[in-house]
Amino acid sequence: SKATVSVLYCRKENFRTKMGFLDADILYPSLKDQKNAHKRKRLVQGPKSSFLDVRCNSCKQVTVVFSHASTVVVCGSCSNVLAQPAGGKARLTAGSSFRTKQE
């Protein structure tokens, strides 16, 4: 009787580790999982895109750039390229500093 109980218990443990669906807590997912999730699949829905303040390397002027810009963004005063489209998110020019704008 004890042998069959221990065998059943071991089978349950193997089932859990093989299936893997009991490893994650569904009610309280981690912050890392929430950041990687699709915008409609998170607990609190919201976009992954934002507006950025980008500072030009040469003239130090700050320009507002959308994080998923689909066109080339140039500086207003010196016409240097600040961001280029790269499929999803825009690729910022090397050396330019940025920060996300708060709402």
pLDDT digits (tens, 9 = 90+) for 33-82: 888 888 888 877 888 889 999 999 888 899 999 999 999 999 988 889 99
Cα distance between residue 82 and residue 36, in whole Å: 27
- Within 10 angstroms of residue 24's Cβ, the number of other Cβ atoms is 10
Burial grade of 26 (CB within 10 A; 0-12, 13-18, 19 or more):
exposed
Q: What's the pTM value of the predicted model, to 2 decimals?
A: 0.62
Token pair, residue 36, equals 């990687």
Token pair, residue 29, equals 């997912």
